[in-house]
């Protein structure tokens, strides 16, 4: 009798999950159409199909499957998240910020969500909250967002020594976003640059990105995605940039920039290469190139800086336990 009851509970639970997915898909449909209009035609099909892929079984927090009231609880979370993604007030780098919509690809990756469907996101956020000792509501509110930002920031390189001359290599013009960039500004840490080349070679084989390639599989000179905008910057050069942009604020040009390690790369991911304007970052975080980096860069040892879609730091590979703990699963 007990097992019979258990199987009825299971059937009800599966039915509820089904309802959530159906509701989530119709919820996300309007958003997808809007986002698709701004994508490159060559990547549209791949993007559209990935948006509704639910390849992994949906894991729902136990609380969510325990009663019929769970569905209304998640429906409420979806509605609340739709508001908060554009309205949540928070501060970063001395600037007030609004919403977390810009960070949806990073959030989805962090919580192990394969799609940008609001329903699945709420469910995965709920599981992530549970794993992090936060009340498991599925609502990405201020407390949860603050915890996520802390997690993203804990990935940044800190206190690394500046690169010495013998660690640096010269980046070929063909790997640069601006082919006229002078040689003294085309330097990078040797190991980081080798990892970058491996990463771009992998991106080049991904046909869904629609990258323009030469006969031997390199990015053409006209292809700008994934090209290096900036890598090593000496302390002196960084100071000079800061003098040119005195109002960039703490979220802008750092005093102790990770770029002086030679292991930080600004890569072209669309729009204005390195503008923190919200509308520019919104455009960048919708590109196939950026979304590919979010999903794949960790395999090559690169970690994101959540606030700047173009900025990636080479942390190396090999510390898989740490990589998995914070959600940058090696896939």
Which of residues 122 and 267 has its CB atom nearest to Zn ion in the complex? 267
Least Cβ distance, residue 129 to Zn ion (angstroms): 31
- 263 token code pair: 């292991």
CB atoms within 10 A of CB 106: 21
Least Cβ distance, residue 65 to Zn ion (angstroms): 43
Q: E strand or H helix at 60, and its extent? A: none
Least Cβ distance, residue 62 to Zn ion (angstroms): 42
Which of residues 253 and 298 has its CB atom nearest to Zn ion in the complex? 253
Considering only residues 202 through 221, tell me which ones interact with Zn ion, judged by CB under 5 A. Answer: none
Which of residues 62 and 316 has its CB atom nearest to Zn ion in the complex? 316
Q: Does 311 bind Zn ion (CB under 5 A)?
A: yes
Which of residues 175 and 266 has its CB atom nearest to Zn ion in the complex? 266
Give the x/- contact pattern for Zn ion in 249-288, rule: CB under 5 A.
-----------------x----------------------
Which of residues 186 and 311 has its CB atom nearest to Zn ion in the complex? 311
- 69 token code pair: 């009231």
Least Cβ distance, residue 251 to Zn ion (angstroms): 12
**Residues in contact with 82: Cβ distance below 8 Å, sequence separation at least 6, in sequence order:** 27, 118
Least Cβ distance, residue 317 to Zn ion (angstroms): 21
Q: Does 124 bind Zn ion (CB under 5 A)?
A: no
Least Cβ distance, residue 150 to Zn ion (angstroms): 20
Please answer whether residues 282 and 102 qualify as being in contact, where contact means their C-beta atoms are separated by less than 8 angstroms: yes
Least Cβ distance, residue 264 to Zn ion (angstroms): 5
Q: Give the dihedral sign, CA 116/118/120/124.
A: positive
SS3 state of residue 229: strand
Helical H segments across the chain, by residue range: 2-36, 41-51, 62-65, 69-87, 104-111, 118-131, 142-154, 190-204, 235-244, 278-284, 288-296, 320-325
Q: Position of tokens 């199909």? A: 49
- Among 185-193, 247-255, 309-317, 323-331, which window interacts with Zn ion (CB under 5 A)? 309-317
- 124 token code pair: 């995965």
- 21 token code pair: 């997915």
Residues touching Zn ion: how many (CB under 5 A)? 2
How far is 219 from 204, CA to CA, in rounded Å?
Answer: 7
Considering only residues 48 through 107, tell me which ones interact with Zn ion, judged by CB under 5 A. Answer: none
Q: Does 189 bind Zn ion (CB under 5 A)?
A: no
Q: Among 18, 32, 35, 16, which residue's Cα sits nearest to residue 284?
A: 35
Which of residues 25 and 263 has its CB atom nearest to Zn ion in the complex? 263
Q: Which residues bind Zn ion (CB under 5 A)?
A: 266, 311
């Amino acid at each position: 009798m007990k097992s019979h009851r258990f199987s009825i509970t299971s059937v009800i639970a599966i039915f509820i999950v089904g309802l959530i997915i159906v509701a989530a898909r119709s919820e996300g449909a309007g958003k997808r159409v809007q986002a698709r209009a701004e994508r490159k035609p060559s990547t549209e099909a791949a993007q559209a199909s990935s948006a509704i892929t639910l390849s992994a079984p949906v894991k729902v927090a136990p609380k969510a499957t325990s009663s019929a009231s769970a569905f209304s609880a998640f429906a409420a979370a979806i509605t609340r998240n739709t508001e908060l993604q554009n309205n949540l007030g928070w501060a970063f780098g001395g600037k007030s910020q609004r919403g977390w919509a810009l960070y949806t690809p990073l959030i989805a990756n962090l919580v192990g969500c394969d799609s940008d469907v609001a329903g699945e996101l709420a469910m995965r956020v709920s599981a992530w909250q549970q794993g992090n000792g936060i009340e498991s509501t599925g609502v990405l509110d201020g407390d949860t967002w603050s915890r996520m930002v802390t997690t993203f920031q804990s990935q940044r390189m800190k206190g690394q020594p500046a690169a010495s001359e013998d660690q640096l290599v010269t980046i070929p013009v063909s790997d640069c976003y601006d082919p006229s960039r002078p040689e003294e500004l085309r330097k990078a840490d040797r190991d980081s640059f080798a990892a970058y080349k491996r990463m771009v070679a992998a991106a080049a084989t991904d046909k869904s990105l629609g990258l323009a390639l030469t006969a031997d599989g390199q990015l053409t000179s006209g292809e700008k995605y994934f090209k290096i905008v900036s890598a090593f910057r000496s302390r002196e050069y960084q100071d000079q940039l800061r003098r040119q942009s005195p109002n960039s604020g703490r979220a802008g040009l750092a005093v102790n920039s990770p770029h002086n390690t030679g292991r930080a790369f600004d890569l072209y991911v669309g729009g204005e290469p390195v503008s923190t304007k919200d509308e520019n970052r919104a455009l960048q975080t919708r590109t196939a190139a950026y979304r590919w980096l979010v999903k794949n860069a960790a395999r090559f040892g690169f970690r994101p800086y959540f606030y700047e879609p173009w900025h990636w730091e080479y942390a190396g590979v090999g510390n898989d336990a740490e990589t998995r703990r914070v959600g940058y699963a090696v896939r």
